[in-house]
Amino acid sequence: MCPPDDLNAEARRHAERFQRVREAHQTELAEDYVELIAHLIEETGEARVVDLAGWLGVTNATVNNTIQRLQRDGLVTTKPYRSIFLTDAGRELAEQSRKRHDIVREFLIALGVDSQTADIDAEGIEHHVSSATLKAFAKFVNKARRST
Amino acid sequence: MCPPDDLNAEARRHAERFQRVREAHQTELAEDYVELIAHLIEETGEARVVDLAGWLGVTNATVNNTIQRLQRDGLVTTKPYRSIFLTDAGRELAEQSRKRHDIVREFLIALGVDSQTADIDAEGIEHHVSSATLKAFAKFVNKARRST
DNA sequence: ACAACATCTTAGCAAGGGCTAAATTTAGGT
DNA sequence: ACCTAAATTTAGCCCTTGCTAAGATGTTGT
């Protein structure tokens, strides 16, 4: 009797979007960690638990837990009481995250947001930007650059 | 002996940003729920567990859990086996979330992102946009509107 | 009125991600 | 070489956010 009702279709689409956001959440922390680890290795030669804890604003114990999970997931390697290294997968994820982060940050600045706010917001936004949107951001940055 | 070292200052700023993102995460779900509840009440007259579950893509039991927490936190009211209502605080949060969501979505579209991608990305981005950035987004949308 | 069905709730489980406190190991200074 | 301080790990706790399965309650059609 009922026509295939559009309300359900809308609900379904909505639900899909939510599932996607939930999935993104699961990779956020991993991205932040590998990005930071790559940065520390580049800048200081090594990544230690205590440094990560300081940069992330959490305790050493928390970092340790998380590193175990990242190791389980094949993103980092480490031996007891030693510093942390990225696997190939970890390095790749780190590189990709860094690029995205930079584009988002530059985009916000090009849009007229002050650089401190850009730093803060980029940290949250970067994990939720699809490649299509990222492309649009990059295009805008380039256009803004050319016109100055 | 050491000069107040800038590495630590950078680390401190980084840690603050992270803490802010972590805080945002704690309010995300609440925002999504009240936004959806407001929408359902407006469109269908009431918000029921089963509808929320369908729109969010989770089970009824999960919705129920979350609603308990939201009630504890003063955002919704409900009685056993009855539908869900927003408190004043809940309504306010819903309204604010809806506005932010809409601006982000319109902004992405104005930037040239296709509307389906805009729908998806807005869902993730909206919770991480400061009021300064939101203002910049709104300004861009208005400018784009005037120039067409 | 009441049986069947839908909805809601409860109970119990798991993983993620945070904490503190208490080992344990490593590294540095004398 | 050894003692101490720093770093790391472990253990045990908490809350959130998801799930399934089972029980309780409402609603509806005949």
Judged by a CB distance cut-off of 8 A, whether residue A49 touches chain B is no
Arch. (CATH architecture) of A7-146: Orthogonal Bundle (1.10)
What DSSP line would sit under chain B, residue for residue? -----HHHHHHHHHHHHHHHHHHHHHHHHHHHHHHHHHHHHHHHS-B-HHHHHHHHTS-HHHHHHHHHHHHHTTSEEE-TTS-EEE-HHHHHHHHHHHHHHHHHHHHHHHTT--HHHHHHHHHHHGGG--HHHHHHHHHHHHHHHHT-
Q: What is the per-residue pLDDT for A8?
A: 86
- CATH node for B6-146: 1.10.10.10
Q: Is the pLDDT of residue B3 over 70?
A: no
Judged by a CB distance cut-off of 8 A, whether residue B35 touches chain A is no
pLDDT tens digits for range A20-57: 999 999 999 999 999 999 999 999 999 999 999 999 99
Residues 106-145 of A with CB under 7 A from strand C: none
pLDDT tens digits for range B94-145: 999 999 999 999 999 999 999 999 999 999 999 999 999 999 999 999 999 9
Q: What is the per-residue pLDDT for A1?
A: 38
Q: Is the pLDDT of residue B4 over 70?
A: no
Cβ neighbourhood burial of A135 (10 Å; 0-12, 13-18, 19+):
middle
pLDDT tens digits for range A122-148: 999 999 999 999 999 999 999 999 987
Element (DSSP H or E) covering residue A38: helix A6-44
Q: Which residues of A touch B139 (CB under 8 A)?
A: 112
Q: What's the CA gap between A49 and A90, in Å, rounded? A: 17
In chain B, which residue's Cα lies nearest the Cα of A133? Answer: B113
Closest listed residue to residue A52, CA positions, set A84, A91, A96, A94? A84
Give the CA A59 to C1' D11 distance in Å: 16
pLDDT band at A2 (very low <50, low <70, confident <90, very high): very low
Identity of the residue numbered B113: V
The domains of chain B are located at: 6-146
Q: What is the per-residue pLDDT for A6?
A: 66
Q: What is the per-residue pLDDT for A7?
A: 67
Q: Is the CB of A45 under 7 A from strand C?
A: no
pLDDT tens digits for range B35-65: 999 999 999 999 999 999 999 999 999 999 9
**Inter-chain touch B108–A133, beta carbons under 8 Å:** yes
pLDDT tens digits for range A69-97: 999 999 999 999 999 999 999 999 999 99
